[in-house]
Amino acid sequence: MRNVTLQVAMSELSPYPPVVAFLDERFEGLGHRTRMIVGCCLFGHDRWMALHGREAEVGTARRKRRLQAIDDLLRSIGGVGVLVYADLPSELLTPHEIDATTDIPRMSRIDNVWSQLTLSAVFASLAWLQHSGVSVGAVNLYYDRRDLTAAHRTQFENILRQTLPETAKEAPIEHPALFKADASALRFDTIRGVGKPVSWASADAFQCGTDLAHHFCAHASAVIGGDQRDACWYGITPRL
């Protein structure tokens, strides 16, 4: 499993800003393998709520220009985009395969892989902010709605609410040269699946966010190793 980061400045952030994160996933066939991709886009919460309407510019851009439109949006609003992907033998992802753990008595194999990659994307995104010196407080996370079992959803949220903040607090102690930000206030407030907008209504801020993650995933091949790869690596240090 690897992750690829599209890094752009998160402007106008206070030392401990609330952050909003949006996630979506995509499957791509690669012969006898299947690539599962999860995209995560993070923004300062207040700035996204004020400017999320600009996400429509991504959907209306021509396909060849859409990745550039995503980049323009991340730069103008101030955000970070991260892709995490795994290339798996296709036979591992058969539709009716069931997995189980001590804490989760029953979950589909695809949901199992989805939750692992989604957690990896969130860990990687917040780790990049911490590495860049951005101290984050509350995180509100929205993902394209998925029908997880109750036990699976509980454990998925427990990792976000308990394991991730604990890991983030330990990181600067164990690796002070790599992780510069204070993670003492990091916590997850909202964790929620988001449905598609109905045909007669405009998308709300959260649906716009997951739609942006959808478009990001759709252009994963260009970010991961395509012709436009160099254009997608910026590494600009966030401005506080």
- What domains lie within the chain, and their CATH numbers? 2-232 (3.30.420)
Q: What is the pTM of this model?
A: 0.86
- Which pLDDT does position 122 carry in this prediction? 95
CA–CA separation, 180 and 199 (whole Å):
45
- Which pLDDT does position 15 carry in this prediction? 57
CA–CA separation, 77 and 118 (whole Å):
23
Cα dihedral sign for 124, 187, 168, 163?
negative
- Which pLDDT does position 16 carry in this prediction? 77
Distances (CA, A) of 54 to 51, 64, 72, 215: 6, 19, 10, 14
Distances (CA, A) of 155 to 12, 54, 86, 165, 178: 34, 34, 21, 15, 29
pLDDT by residue for the chain (240 residues), tens digit each? 555 444 444 444 445 778 999 999 999 998 888 999 999 999 999 999 999 988 988 988 888 888 899 988 988 888 889 998 888 898 888 888 999 999 999 999 999 999 999 999 999 999 988 988 888 999 999 999 999 999 999 999 999 999 999 999 999 999 999 998 999 999 999 999 999 888 777 899 999 999 999 999 998 888 877 543 332 333 333 332
Burial 42-66 (b: 16+ CB within 10 A, else e): bbbbebbeebbebbeebeebeeeeb
Q: Please tell me what DSSP assigns to residue 152.
A: H
